[in-house]
Amino acid sequence: MFMFRLIIISFLFLALRVDKANAQLSYKKFGNKLLPYSEILVDGSGHGNFTTIQSAINSIPSNNKYWTTIRIKAGNYREKVIIPKDKSYILLKGSGKSKTLVEWDDHSDLKIPTFSSLADNIIVKSISFRNSYNNPINNKPKIPAIAAKVSGDNTYFFRVGFYGYQDTLYDAKGRHYYKLCTIQGAVDFIFGAGQSLFERCSINVIGDGYITAQGRESPNDSNGFVFKDSHVFGNATTYLGRAWRQYARVLFYNTNLTNVIQPLGWDSWNFNTHENLITFAEYGNFGPGADTSKRVDWVNKLDKTTIENMASVNFIDDKKEWIDNQPY
């Protein structure tokens, strides 16, 4: 009888510990499934679980399997933020693109952006990242200074701001979806070898240069940049892009191109003897910058099927593997 009672007490104690451990877990709909997730609050004034974003990320166990939402109160966060490769399933949510700002000012080295997202299955919403090193008003040299680097797969940005001058957004590799985002810069300010769809985004040109420098290296690579239903504007002049690698691929689709666009449109950069390998294309754009009569003579005319495939989520999620399975 004593042993039976001891077993019952032990079981109840274990159950109590399990309930306490799960008390911070809630449930959220992911596609058609209801799965556990947890929340962390970051508040710079000290009224949350953490005062810095990085400390909140550090608290998440490596190789975690459930989504964790890190909610960030409004404010300016003076820190570099890194989501390491072994910390997936993080939803980073600020209080608004104009209310929550993460800012730093490193430069030149591709490894030191203000924000680095290196893991797969990451969502970022309602926040902005700025590299202030060569802000136009501080008269510092105009050199690479990255606001954000994205190299994980299955990454979604919604209402996120990226602010810099040269090399603002390093879209390095992986499948990425940018929706209702703002990207500011002058020289190669969206660059890399990501396979990315930019939908309904605002592209703000603040200095003469190039919007994109895409890095596709082989005709068999699936990556490229697609800008759909977006708006390109600013106070300087710009090319739509130049080829960072010899098979660079960029499409502007149904986008408002204002008079900031250089008439030639595109630049082959170091590949002027291999222009036939580059895929730079425009379709259905409007505005004074959409006039293609003076474009470079090697700009591509893609067939309608290719354009329709690239200008949809099929370009980044053709098997419906990830976008529909993220938290609502």
Per-residue model confidence as pLDDT tens digits over 276-294: 999 999 999 999 999 999 9
User: Percent of the chain, pLDDT > 70?
Assistant: 88
The top-scoring range by mean pLDDT among 17-26, 97-106, 318-327 is: 97-106
pLDDT score recorded for residue 53: 97
* Res. 2 pLDDT band, cuts 50 70 90: very low
> How big is the chain by its Cα radius of gyration, in Å?
23
Higher pLDDT, 27 or 71: 71
pLDDT bucket at 20, cuts 50 / 70 / 90:
very low
pLDDT-based confidence at 24, cuts 50/70/90? low
pLDDT at 252: 97
| Segment 28-39 mean pLDDT | 72
Mean pLDDT of 132-149: 82
Range with the poorest average pLDDT among 17-26, 92-101, 128-137, 239-248: 17-26
Whether the per-residue pLDDT at 10 is higher than 50: the answer is no
Q: Shortest CA distance to 160 belongs to which of 195, 108, 194, 125?
A: 125
SS (H, E, C) 29-65: EECCEEEEEEEEEECCCCCCCECCHHHHHHCCCCCCC
Round to whole Å and give the CA distance between 74 and 191. Answer: 29
CB 285 within 8 A of CB 253: yes
Greatest mean pLDDT among 33-37, 256-260, 306-310: 256-260
Task: Flag whether pLDDT at 16 surpasses 60.
Answer: no
Average pLDDT over residues 144-163: 96
What per-residue confidence (pLDDT) applies to 93?
Answer: 96
For residues 90 and 122, the answer to whether their CB atoms sit within 8 Å is yes
- In the chain, the amino acid numbered 239 is Y
pLDDT, position 86: 97
Percent share of the chain, pLDDT over 90:
73
Give the predicted TM-score (pTM) of the model: 0.89
CB distance 235 to 206 below 8 Å: yes
Q: What is the pLDDT of residue 36?
A: 65
Q: Whole-number mean pLDDT of the chain?
A: 89
Residue 303 known to be catalytic: no
9 confidence band (pLDDT: 50, 70, 90): very low
Catalytic-labelled residue, pool 188, 221, 267, 317? 188
310: region left, alpha or beta (phi > 0 left; psi from -120 to 50 alpha): alpha
pLDDT score, position 87 = 96
Residue 263 has pLDDT above 60, yes or no: yes
